[in-house]
Structure 1
Amino acid sequence: MFRSIPLLLFLALGTTLTPAAARPAVDPDAPTVILVHGAFADASSWDQVAKRLRRRGVPVVAVDNPLSSLEADVDVTRAAIAAAPGKVVLVGHSWGGTVITQAGVDPKVTALVYVAAFAPDVGQTSAQQGEHFPVAPGLQQLLERDGWLSLSPQTIARDFAQDLTPRALARVQASQLPLKASALAEPVTAAAWRSRPSWYVVSRKDRMLAPQLQVATAQRIGATLYSVGASHVAPVSEPGEVSNVILEASGLRPADAPTSAAGG
């Protein structure tokens, strides 16, 4: 059990302290954007997105999930929401979508952004979302050890992050964190997308979460839908497109209008 919110934040929030003179001015109208990473990743997967948002004066926090259970990841995200000074936009990638679905019912949360992500309904698990859809190639190659799931370097290169440069791919491989398999069988007890406006970014070249499932999920939750020609790790390979959608969800003008709208 976590002992205190301050300790939790010190241990879990992926924030970097910068000298005050180097920080861009904060937009007083901008909500805090909280970025929630998925399985087989850590908070650094959001680095390029966070950099772009901060340049626009948006306060950003990237949480580091323990990936040990849905409850544990939701607790970390709730602590970040509680620490934010005002309104919050929650952004979840992959498994992080399940986390923001439950954590996003907090009254401070004004919008949700899903990036190649799960978005279960109440009583539904992440694993159940994949029923009746093709099993993506990468999911057929999961490694299991002592109840934890991970990816081999070959699967990361072929199915998880196949559109990255060798250098970026090496960083993704080095920062991989395993996911407790049992987390995928935990049902959500709240579905924030039922009461919050949502945006969804589909990764059209995703080999971990079937694009057909992503589109169906976006339609089911009534999200504003965009798509990018990216692998599963769109926050790394297409940070500009992802950042623009987050800015739109935050009520701010995107740096460039998203170019790959797939409907709404």
Structure 2
Amino acid sequence: MKTIFKQLLVILFAFCASSTEVVFAQKLPVKNIVLVHGAFVDGSGWEGIYKELTKKGYHVSVTQQTLLSYEDDVKQVNRIIDQQDGPCILVGHSYGGAIITIAGNNPKVAGLVYLAAHAPDEGESEADNGKKYPSAYKSLIKGDDGFDYINPNNFPSDFAGGVAKEKADFMAVSQTPTKDSVFHAIIHNPAWKSKPVWYMVAKADRIINPDLERLYAKRAKSKKTVEVQGAGHCVFMTHPKEAAELIVEASKGSQ
């Protein structure tokens, strides 16, 4: 009888220890971060956030989608997500938000962070949402070849407000023309309905109406919404520390 009792105690102890390990593991922060850029730029703009996160021990991946097709951009981001060795936090800026709204359905994605980014609902497109909440900028040029770009003369003030002038001027002449059709992609099965969300509003954004950003955050039931006073559309570049802090919070709260 004593032998059976001892065996039961051993089994019970092993079960409790195993359960404790599981609970502890679930509370560990997600260490993989995937950063998804938006239209007219490439992944180099994430350098400041990359440095902030890697200093804290995070594994950071930066996507380089082509901006030629919404469907292909989602596939390219999913390719990077699939390369992660565990769960990840998916971060999107601007049009990148529309991308992560679908790519976020990948099972490896534990949470979504939107930085002045679009988060369309079922049946919506970011272009249509922009009509409901008009932007302040008027510098978008639509080419006859189906590609859009921002007038370089207005790029620093409209798109890159707050970025150092020399850097903003370079971004203006090196911008990546973006296929107009990507802005009209209709969203189906938005991931923010099933994944936790964190949102950063750029209060002086001229590309996306800040009120539209607030709408996105509210209906996605953002766990935390940060509004950055005076920040333009490139808040991810001008406020890398604040953005990184929000991403870190997401990594800790997504489990």
C-alpha distance in 1 between matches for 2:251 and 2:129? 27
Give 1:137 shift: 2.5
Where in structure 2 are the equivalents of 1:105-184 lying within 5 Å? 105-133=105-133, 135-138=134-137, 140-145=138-143, 146-184=145-183
**Shift in Å, 1:220:** 1.2
For residue 61 of structure 1, report the CA deviation from its aligned partner: 0.5
Instruction: State the 1:29 CA deviation.
Output: 4.9
Normalised by the length of structure 2, the TM-score is 0.84
> What is the CA–CA distance in structure 2 between the aligned matches of 1:162 and 1:89, rounded to whole Å?
27
Map 1:37-76 onto structure 2 (within 5 A). Answer: 37-76=37-76
In 2, Cα distance between equivalents of 1:91 and 1:174: 26
Whole-Å Cα distance in 1 between the matches of residues 34 and 215 of structure 2?
25
> Could you tell me how far apart the structure 1 residues matched to 2:189 and 2:34 are?
19
Mapping 1:113-262, distance limit 5 Å: 113-133=113-133, 135-138=134-137, 140-145=138-143, 146-223=145-222, 224-229=224-229, 230-251=231-252
For residues 219-246 of structure 1, the C-alpha deviation after alignment (integer angstroms, 9 at most, x for no partner) is 1111121111211001111111111100
Which structure has the higher relative contact order (CA within 8 Å, separation 6+)?
Answer: 2
Q: TM-score, structure 1 length as denominator? A: 0.81
Q: Measure the CA separation in 2 of the matches of 1:102 and 1:52.
A: 26
Instruction: Please say which structure displays the higher CA radius of gyration.
Output: 2
Whose helix proportion is higher, 1 or 2?
A: 2
Deviates more, 1:149-158 or 1:66-75: 149-158
Deviation per CA, 1:93-151: give whole Å up to 9, x if none. 00000000000011111000001110011221111222432x2222x221122100001
Shift of 1:79: 0.2
SS in 1 for 2:47: helix
Render the CA deviation track for 1:44-94: whole Å, top value 9, x for unaligned: 011110111001010001101111111011001100010000001000000
For 1:54 and 1:174, the matched residues in 2 are separated by 29
Deviations 1:155-175 (A, max 9, x none): 212211121212221342244
5+ residue gaps, structure 2: 1-27
Runs of 4+ more than 4 Å apart: none
Contact 1:36 1:62 in 2 (8 A): yes
The aligned length equals 223
